[in-house]
A and B are shown apart, each in its own frame.
Chain A
Amino acid sequence: MSNKDLKTKLSASGKTVSIDDIPVNSEDLRSIDAKLHVTGKSLFVDDIPMREGTLHAAVYGSEVAKGKIKSIDLDDARKSPGVVAIYTAKDIPGENQVGGIIPDEPLMADGHVTFNGMPIALVVAETEMEARRALKKIKVDIETEDPIVEPRDAFAKKSFIMPSRTFSIGDTKKVWDECEHVFEEQASMGGQEHLYIETQGSYSLITENDNIKVYSSTQSISYVQKAVSMVLGLPMHKIEVDVTRLGGGFGGKEDGANHWGALASLATYFLKRPVKLILHREDDMRMTGKRHPYDFDIKIGLSKDYKILGYEVICYQNAGAAADLSPAIMERSLFHGAASYFIPNVKITVHSCKTNLPPNTAFRGFGAPQAMFAMESAIYNAAAKLGVDFDLIQRRNLLKEGDEFPYGQKATQCNAEVCFDTAVEKYELQKLKKEIADFNSKNQTHKKGLAVFPLCFGISFTNKSLNQASALVHIYKDGSVIVSTGVVEMGQAVYTKLLGVAKAVLGLKASRIKIDSTNTSRTANVSPTAASSGADLNGKAVEMATTALRDRLYAQAAKILNCQPSQISICEDIISVDGKVVKLTWEKLILEALIDRVNLSEHSHYTTPSIYFDKTKEKGEPFAYHAYGTAITVVKLDCLRGVYEVEQAKIVHDFGRSINLHIDKGQVEGALMQGIGLMTIEELIFNPDGSLRSNSLSSYKVPDIYSAPKTLEIIPLDKEGPKAAIFGSKAVGEPPLCYGIGTYFAVTEAMRAFNPNYKLKFQAPLTFQKCLLDLYDGFKA
């Protein structure tokens, strides 16, 4: 990490060490995992060398979305070559339950099925192919009932996951009369398939005394540990869960990995043999929950000078057949209902609608992108109807320092306006707009459009108790260091960030430090790697543990060198006293400390300070801080074919003081693309019978290399970061996904340039189909 990026001072036992003083090789910025990835040597669950006698499992999922199971005929399947065993719900020795927040989700269907793809039976065979062949021989007779697919239908039938919740500020009942302009609209946003390239999977081993070790592709080792323990009726200490890395998670493996860990372990438990369960892609797509589709009713009121005085939104969240993480996602929608604006009168309501889709779950952004899209739709609609620029209304209503969010927290270190203004200035917004207007006036068949999107994203788990983390750091007697935490590496290079923290505090070369796999025996009761919080929470824990170790070692060095600890410094393995290099080596120091019986291990526990939330009042200070930014998106639309491409994305992002800009920019780039996919080509299609039509990579399209913006610029905002962020470096995982929302409105602008008269719609994703139909809306067919 470059020294300029690390201006935060570390304090340690009366002594302040500046990270600026620690020279760091720029190669250390690169992901430590990537060194393995580029050679194909990094191991994922499916790559772990198999133990002798390993069996392979496959899951039979319900073919219908809703109904009563009349019979399950396994006779033919049992006779299928290679089949060792088949299990159903009645075989579960513990509880048939994997619900996280609410215990409403059976691991395998028992009596009823509630979504298409719901696991009914687990086939275990000598080979994967034999297991898959046997699946085709299972016959399940289900008395079909009418499923609910759409959230508004669920709402009408009062089918809910939990009671609805409302956040409000001011009084939206009275405000409409004060408004010069009031607009009402409906909007909707489709769900999104995670499409981690590594599908869900688990490999369970039996160890001595019927203990079980699970290698799982999970974002939460503790959730899998708990699920396996519940399902098998065993105490948690008999279950060890280990994760080296995931081939992508994006939220889909937060609660979503529990089922497969539990199913593989169920077979291991009975058969006393290792069992591997890796989901086939189509099974993964069909059986697992996705980003929640939302429907919205929106109402916005503005003053004569385009100040937004009132905003009301009712969100119909399509939660699917069980709660999963929907209550928490509902909460984040409530928190982000007013997006990055200050509006004095706001009312945000979310109904968590129970339908017969697979239980929808966490996905990068976690309910916030949906809420933000509703807010932006309301503003765009008003701007279009009033004939003013979208960005004029956006800019005029941005959050300012000290403004109150609808949930009671005040905006501090608020960078909404400075991000926006920096983007307008650095990227020459007015010039861009002029260029687009010129292009559009000269071209008949191609039109361009531009939109600005301001971002404000709250950082912390909104469930306070999850905002804790621990780290275990050992220094071995040869001077090498090993760090364990509960964070899961899934491409966000969080291990590299932790390494950076340990290295900076201890003053060692990177090669001396290893970040170990994530394991329940080394780290207990772990929060999932989610909510963009992995680096903050676990980085702080590592900072605490390494600082304690360093203090002990400085004292030991002072004792050896006959000086004060404050005179000692260690940098890139070299020990100095008052800046002068001494002969004492790191290895020697460690040996001396060991002989002197100094504790060379440290376990730390970090909790985010000062956050709280009172659900009875729906007010509090739930976030440690907010991340801000602004994106300008330019698209080019082919009006004959109704297809478009993103020409430019220009972003000013508030990283705080990034501890690793190389990695953080990569997070912005990747999140942006995922957000663009969400708003454009990624279309989940469910049939009226609740089955998933877009159930493979050939029918569900994520962005490919030609979908990437032709040019992408990212300017880091030049501002200090908050104390609650690790070294002032703000969380970056989820927030930039929301930049993709701008693409929707940029395309809308281009469409209006071709056909000013089409009826505006706010229905994401804006597929090529919707685009062409609206381009020729009002034309003769």
Chain B
Amino acid sequence: MITFLLNDTHVTTDLNPGMPLLDFLRSHKRLVGTKIGCREGDCGACTVIIGEIVDGKLLYRTQTSCLTPLGNAKNKHIVTIEGLNMDSLSPIQKAFLDQGSAQCGFCTAGFIVAFSAFFLSGKEVNLENGLAAIDGNICRCTGYKAIERAVETCVNDLAGINRDNAISWLVQKSYIPAYFKDIETKLKAVVNDNKIDETVDFDPDNLIIGGGTDLVVQQPFEVYDKPLNMVFDKQKYKKIEIKDGKCHIGCAVTVTDLRESDIIQKMIPTIYSYTKLVSSTHIRNMSTLAGNMANGSPIGDLSIMFIALEAKLHLKSKEGARQIGLKDFFKGYKKVDLNPGEIIEEIVFDVPEKGTHFNFEKVSKRVHLDMATVNSAMCVTVKKGKISNATMAVGGLGPSIRYLHKTNNYLVGKEITDQTFVEANRIAQSEITPRSRPEYKRLLVKQFLFIHLQKASPSTLTLEALQ
């Protein structure tokens, strides 16, 4: 049984937990304001708001319902456009109407839902954050300027929002219906009555599923047909903590959790901006780090970053526990060193030492909300003017992510100069074999190596080195 709150109602269903939430909403509840645009999380027309109790508080985030397995709705508050409608238009709806932000209208509800969630999310209210909240929504008609104007209007209107007590504020200003005031209490009762089973079944026949962002796209029938081992809501897998100089990240930690973690912020503040290049807000709210690694993609942004951070995976199965270096985990195109039923429990890495520069670069067809053409991350540790450790990893060059052993080895002990770069690039070029678009990808590797080193030592490297 899956129990949750849907808008202002209580829902219990025994439907297949692998069914996309989108289909449940449209076909079983006739909430057709949530639209089908692409079924791969790339358009945002099916965006819903999902509220859950985290550390005793109600936390709202957005997800694309096309990729959300119904089972992940358990114990949540699901809000669709119908759940935001009131007798008169909300200021967000009115702003979209007044600014001409809706043309054909097919994407509009997705935008309104995503933007409404922004004010519930507890984020600082400003234009940049407001636009980021809808960065996973595609509009083919308006060219976005009218949408920007609507966002700006509402951001100005709500600049003084009390973020600690956002819901009553928003209800008072008619941004959301009054029933939202009772949700926290109701949802706590639901959670209390329907505890999530924290035990893990390592049955090799199960399909292990986190947020669903990869599996629901790649294997929709399997997700529907197979028994699911759903890890997304297991609390023990949602932790980020530091123990004995090592950072431990649970397998159900999402990219958003990582971005917004105080621990990560203190340790590697740049992760916040790097992860802005990872898909969109809605997808980051769903996709887990472990999922990004387990799918074995040769361009997994998080995989690349954590290889550069020299992370290890803690795996567990019926047979027991084992550890593997992330860079040794990838065995070929979408092939990883993971046995059936085995779970990545944790991603563990050493807290970077002082003097370490961690950089991430990504170029894709579109700057945001896209998969990398080539991506790369690198830690460069500089001690007394010389490199003491280098860890460049590159994706997009072939069947799996490349860790540039020779280049990294060469760099140790060197000063960062034009000459060092030129030689390092020569070595890097010799240890890569891009399968497609080799000329472009080789050039990108060169540029990225340059940028990694330049960021570590801006004053000792010049553009001439690229000539």
Partner-B contacts on A (CB < 8 A): 30-31, 33-44, 46-47, 49, 129, 133, 194-199, 245-250, 278, 280-281, 444-445, 490-493, 640-643, 645, 662-663, 665-666, 669-674, 681, 683, 696-698, 701-709, 712, 767-769, 772-773, 776, 779-781
Contacts and interface: CB of A to CB of B under 8 A. Distances in A.
A38 B373 CA distance: 36
B81 interface: yes
Contacts of A249: 104
B42 A197 contact: no
A46 B144 CA distance: 25
Contacts of A31: 97, 100, 102-103
Contacts of A697: 37-38, 40, 42-43, 138
Contacts of B354: none
Contacts of A33: 102, 105
Given A30-B98, A674-B140, A40 B38 contact: no
A701 B89 contact: no
30 contacts: A31-B97, A31-B100, A34-B101, A34-B103, A35-B89, A35-B97, A37-B104, A37-B108, A38-B93, A39-B89, A40-B32, A40-B34, A41-B85, A47-B32, A49-B30, A195-B140, A197-B139, A248-B104, A249-B104, A250-B140, A278-B36, A281-B38, A445-B463, A492-B103, A640-B450, A643-B363, A669-B145, A705-B147, A769-B437, A772-B443
Interface string B135-157: 10111111111111000000000
Nearest to A29: B100
Contacts of A698: 40, 42, 370-371
Contact of A38 (B108, B138, B140): B108
A34 B147 contact: no
A39 B80 CA distance: 10
A163 to B, nearest CB: 35
Given A195-B140, A705-B137, 9 more contacts: A37-B102, A247-B105, A247-B107, A640-B450, A641-B361, A666-B142, A669-B146, A674-B143, A769-B437
B467 interface: yes
A393 B30 CA distance: 59
Given A248-B106, A280-B39, A781 B367 contact: no
Contact of B104 (A39, A245, A662, A709): A245
A662 to B, nearest CB: 6
A40 B103 contact: no
B365 A444 contact: no
Interface of B: 30, 32-40, 42-43, 45, 80-82, 85, 89, 93-94, 96-98, 100-109, 112, 131, 134-135, 137-148, 221, 224, 361, 363-371, 373, 429, 437, 439-440, 442-444, 446-447, 450-451, 463, 466-467
B443 A781 contact: yes
A704 B224 contact: no
Given A198-B35, A491-B141, A643-B363, A247 B40 contact: no
Contacts of A47: 32
B40 A640 contact: no
Contacts of A245: 104-105
Contact of B466 (A665, A670, A707, A776): A776
B225 to A, nearest CB: 10
Contacts of B363: 641-643, 768, 772
Contacts of B104: 37, 196-198, 245-249, 490-491
A35 B109 CA distance: 11
B467 A779 contact: yes
Q: 9 shortest A-B CB distances, which residue pairs?
A: A40-B33, A247-B106, A491-B104, A37-B105, A673-B143, A40-B81, A491-B103, A697-B42, A40-B109
Given A640-B447, A669-B146, A773-B440, A39 B37 contact: no
A624 B97 CA distance: 33
Given A40-B81, A491-B105, A34 B97 contact: yes
